[in-house]
Amino acid sequence: MTVGIVAACGTKHQEPTSGIDLNNLDTTANPVEDFYQYACGGWMANHPLDAEHSRFGAFDKLAEDNVEQLKGIILDVSAKKNQSGSNADKVATLYNIAMDSAKLQQQGAEPIMPLLNEINALNGKDQIVAYLPKLHMQGIGSFFGIFNEANPDNSKMQMAWLNQGGLGMGDREYYLEPGEKNDTYRAGYKAMMTTEFALAGYDKLTGISADELTTMVYKLEERIAKAHYDKLTNRDPYKTKHIMTVAAVDKMAPAVKIADYFKAMTLVNLDTFNLCQPEYLAEVSKIYTTESENAIKAYYAWNVIRTAASYLSDDFVNASFEYYGRIRSGREQNRPRWKRAISTVEGALGEVLGQLYCEKYFPQENKDRMITLVENLREALGHRIENAEWMDKETKDKALDKLSTVYVKIGYPDTWRDYSSLEIKDDSYFANVLRSNVFDMQYMLSKIDKPTDIKEWLMTPQTVNAYYNPTTNEICFPAGILQPPFFDVNADDAANYGAIGVVIGHELTHGFDDQGRQYDRDGNLLDWWKASDAENFKANAQVLADYFSHIKVLDNPLTYADGEYTLGENIADNGGLHVSFLAMQDAIKKGQVSTEKMDGFTAEQRFFLAYAAVWANNIRDEEIINRTKNDVHSLGRWRVNGTLPHITEFVETWNVQPGNGMYVAPENRVTLW
């Protein structure tokens, strides 16, 4: 039986609203030409970008509201006399040291000097190679990263994975692609590096000028970038699956000394692991062999400085913001200190804050109600799979079986993480960050070669987001997202289906997008598709990828969306809309959604207006470029104007005609789920 959102959420104590804020609309725009402007233009006009943000949207506003709530919780905790070493004491101590501006200015580069002195004292390649695990254990990235993830062939067990890394600019394209904008990024990055080498005094420590140190490090990072897999290759789970023995990798990349590395990382008995990019690690081995000792030591030192900059004096913070904030994203000023401090507390003690947050803002009854809603959407996706004309029954049955086993997490975890061994004390801000990094690294390493814990959460409860994890076949909706504009208990349910309903459908669909579909019901990387159905899927998905790749997102410099990179998210948006609209239709039949016009809109119109409102935002040109390069999600405008023309229910609801801006011919519309 399909259960409507009203039934799932208990008795409402007032007449439901439409769920549509008329102030969000721009009624001068034509919805059939530019639905995003029509549905979101008022919101954008009423929420102009301030100096702090490179993008600010409905999503971000909710996140900012949550930060204000967390601030109240932290200040309340800090005002009490807490037992020494208690979680409350750790929250208060870390927040207060992050806010102690005078101490930060007085200490300057002092907190990073022990590490810089150690690096400078390294003598010979053997010592340099042996120092890498010490950096990694403290959360300082260099060359590559280690993490735990399910064994692709046996998802019930965790194994070690090694992944390429070590680029201060983030993506290989920033180093390798020509163009004026990338030239600006490269110049800004080098300027930041030179400034911060001098601020740290590493030039005086080594007797090498800051300019020369920058040149050495940049050339090394450029070499790293050339060896990196590109982002599309990294999206393919088969192309990043290389389960190898430690002995074999030691022969392939001898200078890395991977057996010694794992032992230093406390993985003494490790035999096999997944090496995501074997050719890359082979190049790291060559770098250790051919680059000068000074260049590699400078690279290590730079990663220490870059990691620490946000937790040091204002000179470091400002130099880092000039590049990452102003040049890369167009922000005009940094976030206030208190917001940055809260982010650090969240990073170190996320579930401590999460527990306090949920106790105050997310009661158990809300969790129970959401579980019922998810089952409603699961049933609707099941109907969509059953009715998919492009799939054979054999594959449909396996898809339905996978759907039936999706594990659901709502609000907050059943058990909370133990932080008793994390030491927070009043020495330096960065010292506490390092101890937190070690604490998290040890926690992560402890899971390797152990059974997968499906009850573990990959987001904190206060996070305004949601996720699907293919290796555990789970969906998770933290408490932070389960509030307006995503879910409003006082709104008519058409709007709720358009907002949180689509989010739920989106995450469920991820189990069947271009990546998720490659995992079976147990989370193993296994082809369970009939060959003809797989080809049909790929053909339909390619139409969607090509469609988005032709969307121009910026005129200067001319920038197009990346339909291949965003394919999984675009499939999930497409599926989420179809699934939630069907669930709403079921609820209408059961009398659980009003068929009356509210604020002048039908239930179907309210559904699509609520969906669009979630993606309302203003964004700077620099951030458009940044997100187009690095974000697997399409930009907010195109999650509306790029996705909705493929939804026949949208076309019919708003009477979109051939020649309208929101029209795609039926034969060109993509329907997978």
The three-state DSSP-derived secondary structure of 139-189 is CCCECEEEEEEEECCEEEEEEEEEEECCCCCCCHHHHHCCCHHHHHHHHHH
Q: Does domain 111-334 have CATH number 2.60.40.420?
A: no
The answer for 52, left when phi > 0, alpha when psi is -120 to 50, beta otherwise, is alpha
Range with the lowest mean pLDDT among 285-294, 433-442, 482-491? 482-491
What the block records as the tokens of 202 is 């590493």
Would you say residue 524 has pLDDT above 50?
yes
The pLDDT, as a whole number, for residue 364 is: 77
The CATH number given to 5-69+342-415+455-668 is: 3.40.390.10
Residue 2 banded pLDDT, cuts 50, 70, 90: very low
Residue 556 banded pLDDT, cuts 50, 70, 90: very high
Average pLDDT over residues 599-623: 97
Average pLDDT over residues 378-394: 96
Buried residues in 560-574 as b, exposed as e (16+ CB within 10 A): ebbbbbbbbbbbbbb
The β-bridge partners of 437 are none
Would you say residue 638 has pLDDT above 60?
yes
Same fold, 5-69+342-415+455-668 and 111-334: no
The pLDDT, as a whole number, for residue 14 is: 67
Would you say residue 534 has pLDDT above 60?
yes
β-strand pairing of 474-478 with 407-411: parallel
The pLDDT, as a whole number, for residue 372 is: 76
Average pLDDT over residues 448-457: 97
Backbone angles phi, psi at 474, to 5 degrees: -130, 155
Give whole-number Cα distances, 586 to 6, 38, 106, 484, 504, in Å.
13, 28, 64, 23, 16
Would you say residue 1 has pLDDT above 70?
no
Taking the domains of the chain in order of start, what are their residue ranges?
A: 5-69+342-415+455-668, 111-334
Would you say residue 81 has pLDDT above 60?
yes
Would you say residue 623 has pLDDT above 90?
yes
What CA–CA distance (Å, rounded) separates 152 from 157?
9
Give the H or E element holding residue 313: none
What CA–CA distance (Å, rounded) separates 149 from 167?
22
